[in-house]
Structure 1
Amino acid sequence: MGGVPAIPPPYHATAVRPDWRDLPDGLRDAITARLGAPVVAARTATAGFTGGFAAVLETAAGRVFVKAADLARQRHLTDWYAREAAVLARLPAGLPVPRPRWALDAAGWYAVGLDALDGRTPRLPWEPTELAAVLAGYAEVSAALADPPADLTALGLPHLADLARTDILWWGEVAAGREPSPPLPPAARDRLPELVALESRLPGYAATAPGLVHGDLRMDNVLLDRAGRAWFCDWNWLCHGPAWFDLAGLLVTGYAGGVDVDALFAGHPATADAPPDALDVTLAALSGYYLTAAGPPPPAWTATARVDRLGHPGGRPADGGRDRPPDVSPLLWAHRRFSGEQALGWLADRRNWH
């Protein structure tokens, strides 16, 4: 921060991934056999921050979106992909989400095939029609997850209240001297006690929510199809929690785009039962979560680093360090900084920290 506004990363072009031709021959052969026809075109996904394979594969029989990762070197990704496939297979019918088609392992890799969506990430700053489509789509999703089916909850999903305590709440760590303070703008430099008090309410609020939430709802996990409908992707962090948490995380990215985000949050069906300070509590938590991890990337990548529940390297390991797992986009740190500044700036405006 420090007076220089963060620039959003190009969310449509953040990924560093292997291409189809980079995969082991045995894996490509197994995928081709499962598709039932040779791959005639492969379009690698350019969005995202992890380094797993992700591409739309086209054959004479149609198109499939395939994710794949090395079972030994990228075990966290293979676990995510398997969990996402299990979630997608059990989400209520009719929702705008891709559905799984198959899964396989070959040549030491795990792969899952999903419906291929013909879409793109929304543009920043938010365009009114695109934002309206995304908010309408999330209203549909949040309503369906307010009373989720039993086979979905039977997956043993985590609770946001627990995840908040272990991975999200970082201002308390800063106040206790266990985490370095990130650079803060003048308006927020003396607000650490208030930030700690606000974020500390999140676990209690989340614990009372009866439904499920996406858990990682950012604009780069949304695709708009050619008809303008919003589709919601990357469901590996589904958890028990309040829908307003998802909504706040989504709107953070559009905070500086001239949009009345306060009104959009307050008027959305997902906030019908939200506590009066739910938005401030979530913004405090997200700002600390992002900003404490937004420093320069560590010089070395390590395969043992913890990867947290919002899909980013981080978390709270025993030694207090947050190293870089392998195959992470170098733009991840720009994403963290941008998101953290957006959240803290929005909170500062709401609380008149000027």
Structure 2
Amino acid sequence: MIPPSPYPVPHHSTARRPAWTSLPPALRAAVADRLGAPVVAARTAGAGFTSGFAALLSTADGGQVFVKAASTAEQPHLVDWYAREAAILARLPGGLPVPRPRWTLSEAGWFALGLDALPGRIPRLPWESTELTATLTGYARVAAALAEPPAELTGLGLPHLADLARQDILWWEEVAAGREPPPVSPAGTLDRLDELVALESRLPGYAAGATGLIHGDLRADNVLVDPAGRAWFCDWPWLCHGPPWFDLVTLLLSAYADGLDADALFADHPASAGAPADALDASLAALAGYHLVNAATPAPLSAHQRWSGTQALGWLARRQGWC
């Protein structure tokens, strides 16, 4: 029905971000003051799908920091995300491969977050076996640490995947009820609409009993591999209560697209332990609908969502014997 396919846009060059020199002078001065030295170089992050400022800043004294920033008037949603990420990162269990926040500041109508600079790069796609193994091993460690999260983290009032699914992830039911137009999707998709609705509807129930926390947006472009081959996990504003196998599914979409045995990678990973027998299928159905229905967004996000939805649907179709 739907064969695996390469990523449509180089995932290290999807972002459209402002340059350091385009930020308000008062904000740049405040950041430099917080860093204790003038900024002499700024390498803008190419990955991601937001328009917020994100760059690795180097200072005259040899220091480095990764800075995210957004306008409070024009990008209030990004300000909320960055502030939430700062609070989450400060409370994650120690020793995990995640960046730690150094400071936040508000200046000239902007909010900025300074994070530890992580040495490394986004994994190459198609996946190299060593980098995929490092990423899966690293996530197993993260998932284990978040299985019983500290009270200071859960005290933030984090959302639950079950509620998020009902509110914003389950779209096939909307299509079936005529409340949402059918998405642009591979031929034969609507012939399976009843089955897609039934599968996606199981996700909230499966996620409802989870007491641990998950990343909530685990993709290859939210991973960095350092020179020692260790995987680091970035971009944490979507932390939520949920089962770790859901993170595993979102990460493995790219492995399926590379033609790897994603079923075996899922089944063999510690994060899938105890998952319902059709948890993978329910997740794939939900992700397919979410991405395909929401693919009418500006490029390059639209290309990413159409690709993600198509791969989720293709993986599900193969597992269900629809093709």
Q: TM-score range by the shorter chain?
A: over 0.9
In structure 1, what is the equivalent of residue 89 of structure 2? 88
Output the CA distance in 2 between the equivalents of 1:255 and 1:5. 9
AA paired with 2:313?
Answer: L
Is the counterpart of residue 341 in structure 1 residue 298 in structure 2? no
Structure 1 pair 124–62 and aligned structure 2 pair: CA distance change class (3 A): same
Deviations 1:155-177 (A, max 9, x none): 00001100001110000000000
The residue that corresponds to 2:145 in the other structure is 144
Give the whole-Å Cα distance in 2 for the aligned partners of 1:342 and 1:39: 42
Counterparts of 1:6 and 1:195 in 2: how far apart (Å)?
24
> 1:350 and 1:15 mapped to 2: Cα distance?
33
Give 2:78's aligned amino acid: L
Q: What is the CA distance between 1:258 and its match in structure 2?
A: 2.1
Q: How far apart are residue 184 of structure 1 and its match? A: 3.0
- For the residue of structure 1 that corresponds to 2:47, the secondary structure is coil
Question: What is the aligned partner in structure 1 of residue 203 from structure 2?
Answer: 202
Amino acid at match of 1:333: S
In the TM superposition, residue 9 of structure 1 has moved relative to its aligned partner by 1.4
User: Aligned partner of 2:218: which letter?
Assistant: L
1:187/1:229 CA distance change after superposition, 3 Å: same
How far residue 187 of structure 1 moved from its aligned partner, in angstroms, is: 4.3
User: Does structure 1 residue 13 correspond to structure 2 residue 27?
Assistant: no
Alignment of 1:13-32 (within 5 A): 13-32=13-32
Taking the TM superposition and a 5 Å limit, the aligned residue runs for 1:69-218 are 69-218=70-219
Name the counterpart of 1:292: 293
Identify, as 1 or 2, the structure richer in helix: 2
Q: Is the 8 A contact 1:3 1:185 kept in 2?
A: no
**Aligned equivalents of 1:256, 1:4: Cα separation in 2:** 4
Q: Note closer, same or farther for the CA distance 1:138–1:6 as it changes in structure 2 (3 Å cut).
A: closer
Q: Give the secondary-structure state (helix, strand or coil) at the position aligned to 1:86.
A: helix
Does residue 277 in structure 1 map to residue 278 in structure 2? yes
Q: Distance in 1 between matches of 2:259 and 2:167?
A: 34
Q: Which residue of 2 aligns with 1:304?
A: none
Q: Distance in 1 between matches of 2:294 and 2:237?
A: 21
Tell me, in whole angstroms, the C-alpha distance in 2 between the residues paired with 1:124 and 1:160: 28
The separation in 1 between residues aligned to 2:89 and 2:289, in whole angstroms, is 30
Query: Letter of the aligned partner of 1:193 in structure 2?
Result: D
Which runs of 5 or more residues in structure 1 are unaligned?
Answer: 298-329
Amino acid across the alignment from 1:79: D
Q: Deviations over 1:171-227 (max 9, x none)?
A: 000000011112333343311000000000111111011100001111111111111
Question: Contact conserved, 2:86 with 2:113, CA < 8 A, in 1?
Answer: yes
The equivalent of 2:319 in structure 1 is 350
Contact 2:186 2:310 in 1 (8 A): no
Total equivalences in the alignment: 322
Q: Distance in 2 between matches of 1:99 and 1:282?
A: 30
2:37 aligns to what SS in structure 1? coil
Question: Relative to 1, partners in 2 of residues 1:4 and 1:159: Cα closer, same or farther, differing over 3 Å?
Answer: closer
Query: Separation in 2 of the partners of 1:218 and 1:5?
Result: 16
Counterparts of 1:256-275 in structure 2, within 5 Å, are: 256-275=257-276
- Deviation sequence 1:14-47 (CA, Å, 0-9, x none): 1111111000001001001100000111111111
Asked if the contact 2:4–2:258 (Cα under 8 Å) also holds between the matched residues in 1, the reply is no
Cα distance, 1:296 vs. partner?
6.0
Tell me how far 1:119 sits from its aligned partner.
1.5
- Cα displacement string for residues 250-309 of structure 1 (whole angstroms, at most 9, x for unaligned residues): 001221212110000001000111000000000000000000111364xxxxxxxxxxxx
Q: What percentage of aligned pairs have identical amino acids?
A: 70
Structure 1 residues 90 and 287 mapped into 2: Cα distance closer, same or farther (>3 Å)?
Answer: same
The ranges of structure 1 where at least 4 consecutive aligned residues each deviate by more than 6 angstroms after the TM superposition are 1-4
- Aligned counterparts, 1:224-243, within 5 A: 224-243=225-244
CA-CA distance at 1:69 after TM superposition: 0.3
Contact (CA 8 Å) 2:256, 2:311: kept in 1 or not?
yes
Aligned-pair distance for 1:342?
A: 0.6
Structure 1 pair 84–4 and aligned structure 2 pair: CA distance change class (3 A): closer
